[in-house]
Structure 1
Amino acid sequence: MRQSYLRLSHEAAAELRDSLDAAAASAGLSAEYPEAALTEAVAAVAAYDPPQQDLTDVPFLTIDPEGSTDLDQALWIEATAQGWRVLYAIADVPGFVPDGGALDAETRRRGETAYLPQGRLPLHPAVISEDAGSLLADQVRGAYVWDMAVAPNGDATLTALTRATVRSREQLSYPEAQARLDAGDPFMAALHSFGEARRAQEERRGGANLDLPEHEVEPDGSGAYKITSRVPLVIEQDNAQVSLMTGMCAAQLMLAANVGLLRTMPAPDEGSLRRFRAVAAGLGHPWPADMHYGAYLRSLDVSHPQQLAIMHAAGSLFRGAAYTPFDGAPPEAPEQAAVAAPYAHTTAPLRRLVDRFALILAHAQANAEAIPQAVRAALPVLPEAMKAATSAVAAAERACLDIVEASLLSSRVGESFEAIVVDGRLPGASADGSKPAPSVKVQLLDPPVSARAAGQADSGTRVNVVVEEAAIAEGRITLRISTPAR
């Protein structure tokens, strides 16, 4: 793991904070909640009617990024003679958001939680997202509990979906969970063996993951920021398989009932596959003709520059994701191609709008109950709301990352850094037909900054780049390839 810390003068820190806030505002994001929605949230918490079924004897726990307070999921798993039994508790957000009110309107406008360097801009007010609705340790909370039986080959069967009260026993960070797995903890061992079985099934059904190192921007508590580059831990990947499995079970419920909202994505077209195959061959790691692209991506080692460049190029295969509603007949193309199965977002209702409706829908379908009319009415309008929200959040995240990256290099103009060319393609002509100066996309090794650099070089090669400009307010970095790296 590489960490680069940003230390700023008082003046530079103030400029950084102002620039980050401006980037969020420019994307239409705000931490401020309308007074009417806040009032409604407080009233909803006071009037909350917890589920009658009591599952507080189940020793659930949560596994999340360190310091998280908006906890959507709590897990319990055990190995059985038939494979594994998994109980997955999802926060009862529907119990706190009355349909048609000011709070409902504001969550529909926001769409999702934005995680920015200056802080979280939540989908729901803190009284819900960080308190009454969050599955915090040692607190009795309402939840939708998915009870799933998993066979040794990874096949999953939903045996029950109930609303119940639960109590998480402890909150673990990913490193803490990994440390327990390494120490032989039985719970984590069961989760890991489950994860291995699900990954093997994923490979059999043709699933794929774009397993790029993550760059996380975090405040360090002193007015400074750091960028951390890391590869997800094994236990983190195991934990993600529980959410993925639950979303697949939700999709099957919806398809069986002919009413739902799926997360779909088309398979990559032949042109994209052909271009990706050429890139892989050009970088010295050919994609075998008889291997599915998902299996090929799993074979890559992103610690190698050429293979990291291939993984970046694979992003062209993961395009066209959308929310697809249906009521009366299933969609013609119900699959999410990377999952290689029908799939629905349903496990993060504190952070994503659609999950709130998906939970109500799936619960009704699993228990042969009538689907609330408000949920049916929301299905056709949710995709556009999520598209707008996702676009706004992505724009703010990219702008804020650009600003922090510029801040990391603002005091190092004129210095040279080693980098990897992750995309050696030159930019195309602009709208007026003119061609910009040649440049390629590079990833600095330390600090882990990504930007375009003037010059030409092949994907996967190591180069030295010189920082010619780093403007914090604009989030602009100007790099130039100087010499090939030794």
Structure 2
Amino acid sequence: MHPSPRPTPDFAAVRAEFALPDAFPAPVLVEAARAAAGRPGPGPGRRDATDVELVTIDPPGSKDLDQALGVARRRSGFRVYYAIADLGAVVTPGGALDAEVRRRGQTIYLPDGSVPLHPAELSEDAASLLPDGPRAAVLWTFDLDDAGEQVAVSVERAVVRSRARLDYAGVQADLAAGRVHPALAALPELGPLRRAHAVRRGAIELELPEQEVVPDGSGGWTVRVRRRLDVESWNAEISLLTGMAAARIMLDAGVGLLRTLPAPEPDALAAFRRTARELGFGWPEDAPAAELLAGLPADTPSALAVRRAATALLRGAGYHAFDRSAGTEPPADAGHGGIGAPYSHVTAPLRRLADRFSTEVCLAVTAGAELPEWVRAALPTLPAVMDESDALASRVDRACLDRTEAALLRGSVGQEFDAVVLRADGEAGEVYLPDPPVLARCTGAFTAGAVVRVRLTAANPETGQIEFAAS
């Protein structure tokens, strides 16, 4: 008798459920091929920056490389170069490709492949910052002081050349071995300074277990917890530095597109403070939530429950377009509560529509040039497009994860597991199973932060439904 095969999640059904496109229209592909055939070179309006030491750091196998980074120590402070793929060099305003990417909004990622924002000949080749020769980019240059604080910034179109395509684990291993690529020479010093700056400005980092669906090595799929490496956090801080600088440029000019998140309401902060104290974590009245979260243990049950409670502080994210010349002002609360400062998306234009337009605003403003009319006309339409595509990406990601979890658990209905209670809500709660790493609702009376026994009562790989009950 042969053992029954492990049920596998049906990602094709997810694609069908959410009506994800499986191809680009023919006119879009024609236009993309034409754009890919041309490679902008240095000249008026585009600096030759091929002498700048830059590398990309991305997950292994990635080809849609939006950013290339260079960090160097100066006599006093740091010099940071952040090159961003220049989609303005390949997307013709008003063309078929422009219309299609405005419809899609962003790349949607599934475990078995992506639904890209741009055709692969652009996103994974001609417009990507691959290390195979000069590429068009928008180059951000930052000067920072010895404490890692920004003192100057410039942004310009350029031609750059990445020296290497690196991945996070490889860079982290190099650092542990005492070696580092010359382009990243000062990142181990600057990265922690920028992380400390984030805590001081009130950035809220939840650091909950981050689940991801990965191949199981036997032709199926499994779920694992993705551990964020130090180098990944440091690289993210450079991206945040760039987005904050972009937001300041836009606010000063009175035109742009912000990614916003309201500051937590006093009642939400008070409730979070009570939860933290009930779970045994002291929190001085004058200390920000960011300081408490930064000092929590990594994954103790009570710390996980505090991190889950902190999600109540991060509600109401959206996009806000403004153009003072057209009578629309920036929002009264222009900040991003999770970052602790105003912020704009500019660092992932291969994967996210908003970044191309925000970048064009920054280029025009810093050059003292008139904002292109096609950018000004598009700004009011972008919040709705981005909100809708963000919601779609989140639903697709959740559907893939739920179906994979259910597939892993289907043969275990009736069994008991140890679980951490992340949240208690009357006669139900949210629990986290460390093995396999599953987040799910569970019926029963619980106390947040407790370790409990739960029984699996249902697991349906076709719908992703998982149900637990207190044992």
Match of 1:361 in 2: 361
- Structure 1: where are the runs of 5+ without partners? 1-7, 427-437
Correspondences of 1:19-418 after superposition (within 5 Å): 20-52=11-43, 53-185=47-179, 187=182, 188=184, 190-220=186-216, 222-328=218-324, 329-418=329-418
Match of 2:444 in 1: 455
Deviations 1:82-119 (A, max 9, x none): 11101110001121111112211111111111121222
Deviation at 1:450, TM superposition (A): 0.8
Distance 1:404 1:177 in 2: 30
Preserved CA contact (<8 Å) 1:418 1:444: yes
% same residue: 45
Deviation at 1:451, TM superposition (A): 0.8
Normalising by structure 1, we get a TM-score of 0.91
Distance 1:274 1:57 in 2: 52
Deviation at 1:446, TM superposition (A): 0.4
Decide which of 458, 462, 466 is 1:477's aligned counterpart: 466
Is the partner of 2:412 in helix, strand or coil? coil
Distance 1:56 1:348 in 2: 21
Deviation at 1:206, TM superposition (A): 2.5
Preserved CA contact (<8 Å) 2:67 2:348: yes
Is the partner of 1:422 in helix, strand or coil? strand
Is the partner of 1:263 in helix, strand or coil? strand
Deviation at 1:24, TM superposition (A): 2.8
Distance 1:91 1:222 in 2: 36
Deviation at 1:23, TM superposition (A): 2.1
Call closer, same or farther: CA 1:11–1:221 in 2, change over 3 Å: closer
Q: Which range moves more in the overlay, 66-75 or 157-166?
A: 157-166
Distance 1:119 1:30 in 2: 12
Distance 2:255 2:95 in 1: 25
Call closer, same or farther: CA 1:9–1:261 in 2, change over 3 Å: farther
Distance 2:444 2:16 in 1: 34
Distance 1:443 1:298 in 2: 21
Match of 1:446 in 2: 435
Call closer, same or farther: CA 1:42–1:69 in 2, change over 3 Å: same
Call closer, same or farther: CA 1:61–1:47 in 2, change over 3 Å: closer
RMSD: 1.8
Preserved CA contact (<8 Å) 2:409 2:459: yes
Distance 1:461 1:386 in 2: 38
Preserved CA contact (<8 Å) 2:64 2:350: yes
Distance 1:12 1:298 in 2: 39
Deviation at 1:290, TM superposition (A): 2.1
Distance 1:465 1:416 in 2: 5
Deviation at 1:222, TM superposition (A): 4.7
Distance 1:112 1:475 in 2: 24
Task: Return the letter of the residue paired with 1:27.
Answer: F
Deviation at 1:263, TM superposition (A): 1.2
Match of 1:425 in 2: 425
Call closer, same or farther: CA 1:206–1:35 in 2, change over 3 Å: same
Deviation at 1:320, TM superposition (A): 1.1
Preserved CA contact (<8 Å) 1:31 1:122: no
Preserved CA contact (<8 Å) 1:48 1:96: no
Is the partner of 2:139 in helix, strand or coil? strand
Preserved CA contact (<8 Å) 1:109 1:389: no
Match of 2:7 in 1: 12
Corresponding pairs, count: 460
Call closer, same or farther: CA 1:397–1:266 in 2, change over 3 Å: same
Match of 1:431 in 2: none
